[in-house]
Amino acid sequence: MNRRNLLGLALVGSLSATLAACGGGDDPLSTTDTSSGSADSATVIVGSANFPESELLAEMYSQVLEKAGAKVTRKFNIGAREVYLKALDDGSIDLLPEYNGALLAGLSDSGSAPEGVSTPEQVLDALKKVLPEGTEVLEQSAAEDKDTLSVSAATASQYSLKNIEDLAPVAKDLVCGAGPEFQERYQGLVGLKELYSVEFKEFKALDAGGPLTVGALVDGSIQVGNIFSTDSAIETNKFVTLEDTKNLFLAQNILPLIRSSKNTSQITDALNGLSAKLTTEDLTKFLAEVQVDKKPSATVAKDYLTSLGLL
């Protein structure tokens, strides 16, 4: 597949829905900015998606870059992929954390991975072939955070749910909740219908694996939720994660996505150093400090990076 311009990736419907979810007519980029003054050509603008883990990872990226001597501007909580890819394309941001499989699916014409692609290495190789011109990814980490379909223990017991395919005969009686973009993504309702013949009674646009989706699962207003695998809410609430036997959700190893014009050996070394040490276990632990203990992501990132000897 030829490399493409990022502007062609954001479907009008998806973009409009996501912008609405990010606060109506507000500028999605008028977000966290902890630097002083405006960014210049030597400044790296670090962005994040609109969920806590992405912001925590973006803060880690920012702090290791600052330690390496780079000037950093933070613009976090931008929105879903359809929004922040546009920001990356127009130069509003230069760098952000991504997930190899989800990004591959988002950039692929079919919305899914090429046949035979499943391992992290295969996903990364396929991803590099479809990256839009002017962008690149750095080394991926062992840390992985996958999309899941999760249900309460009561729902799992009531409908005998263990795998996603078990939803097929009962989904007509169930409500699914997730971020608005889940409705139009292949790694969402589109793929669930195509791969698993799963069609829900109703879809509720909530948030991307966030407190709205978790709360709706807890109070029963939805029966199936898209929760990220590193979210401590799964264990805390005894949710049952349904096995994805057909690999709708690909390997989701974390890696930096950066505008090539802003990359330097200094930046590569700093970010690769972090990726080499980042683990799923650590990410799950420190994300809980943000989500459960309500600590600022900057504080949690600093504590973690210090423990790794990176600050």
Q: Does residue 77 sit in the same domain as residue 110?
A: yes
Q: Does residue 269 sit in the same domain as residue 187?
A: no
Q: How far apart are CA 228 and CA 203, in angstroms?
A: 18
CATH code assigned at 181: 3.40.190.120
* pLDDT grade for 13, boundaries at 50, 70 and 90: very low
Q: Does residue 93 sit in the same domain as residue 13?
A: yes
Asked if residue 30 has pLDDT above 50, the reply is no
Asked if residue 17 has pLDDT above 50, the reply is no
Query: Is 1 inside a domain boundary?
Result: no
Which of 20-34, 89-103, 260-274 has the weakest average pLDDT?
A: 20-34
CATH code assigned at 296: 3.40.190.10
Query: Is 20 inside a domain boundary?
Result: yes
Mean pLDDT of 267-295: 96
Q: What was the pLDDT predicted at 168?
A: 98
Q: Does residue 127 sit in the same domain as residue 100?
A: yes
The parent domain of residue 282 ranges over 6-144+251-307
Query: Is 246 inside a domain boundary?
Result: no
Q: What was the pLDDT predicted at 194?
A: 94
